Amino acid sequence: MNRITRIAGLLAVLACLVGSASSQNKTSFQSQEVKFDGHEIKLAGTLLTPKLDGGKRAPAVLIVPDSGVTSRDGIAIGEAKHSVYRDLAEHLANKGIAVLRYDKRCAGTSECKPATSFDDYIDDARKAADFLKAQSQVDPAKLFLFGHGEGGYISSSLGAAEDSKFAGVILAAAPGRHLHKILRKMTERRLTEEAKKAEDREAILAKLDRVVRMIQNGQQDFSSIALNDKDHYDALLADLIKRRQVIVSLFINDPLQIVNNIQSATLIVQGKKDVQVTVQDAEFLEEAMKRAAHNDSTLLLLDDVDHLLKTNKGAASSASLANVSRPTDAALLAAVTDWILKKAK
């Protein structure tokens, strides 16, 4: 064999290897931009469907996002954009699971009609689930909800409805306490991290408590609350006041009373480095379901996972959330996928 022949043979082998690697990197799903009816509004999202043999239908997951003006891909914290929902969706789709993720109202390319109550967000998710269930590639008997943060509250509400027919509900970093209690603990932690003076901490927390009580009591006039929009803590209070008609139910309704009535298998996933929702919240949820004699609930605690569902090998802190280089946690992705596939059998 001459030198030219040997080089040609090597090139052929390399071409095969490159072709093999490329085929492994190719996605095994199709992506489609979709629009569907929410509650008196058009919502937009991305539907991923695995490539299946003719006539087969896939289990499916609806990703219900966290609080704020949150897009289908994930959470933005200032300039930091964490595409955790896209990562999760693509991971699931590559494992043969259809996934719908959507822009919340007023986010991304969804229409913007501000919610007038928290029920609007629940209805949006319900209609998204109906849309997903109606897809020809989806097995309607194997529909799952993945609720992240506030989305866990929404998913619990859907899973607890009398007409609920979900194969499973996944609650990831979902609150197990009233919202104002979570906000107070988050504020206390941030004040400590910033080494605020004791008198400053007390004043900020007292103002928060006062605003919460006013919202709980249904007050409409907040002119007595002096707010500086350049101050982070005052900006938080201003946002609470602005959205009071929507969030008041989260101040009043106990999430534990809702999970009591979930009718399907439930997976509670909680990161130990979450500085917003804590392990205690997850344990409260699990205990509530046990007391309600729920016979298929599982609690999964992950050591190095934060509220963004990302890996954090360092110390848990509010500042660490700005680091977008951290990956969506591989252990979380694997555990959620395995649980869904097991329940979908």
- CATH H-level superfamily of 29-177+254-343: Alpha/Beta hydrolase fold, catalytic domain (3.40.50.1820)
Domain boundaries, the chain: 29-177+254-343, 179-250
- Dihedral sign computed on CA atoms, order 239, 240, 242, 245: positive
C-beta separation of 42 from 36 below 8 A = yes
Angle in degrees, CA 293, 298, 300, rounded to 5: 145
Instruction: In whole angstroms, give the CA distance from residue 83 to residue 71.
Output: 9
pLDDT of residue 26: 58
Q: Walk along the chain (345 residues) in steps of 10 and give the mean pLDDT of each run.
A: 40 39 60 98 98 90 96 90 97 98 97 96 98 97 98 97 93 97 93 91 96 96 93 94 95 94 96 96 97 94 97 88 92 98 97
DSSP H helices in the chain: 3-25, 84-94, 118-133, 150-159, 179-193, 198-216, 232-242, 244-252, 255-259, 279-291, 330-343
**Amino acid at site 32:** Q
Residues 6 or more apart from 266 whose CB is under 8 A from it? 159, 168, 169, 170, 171, 259, 289, 294, 296, 297, 298
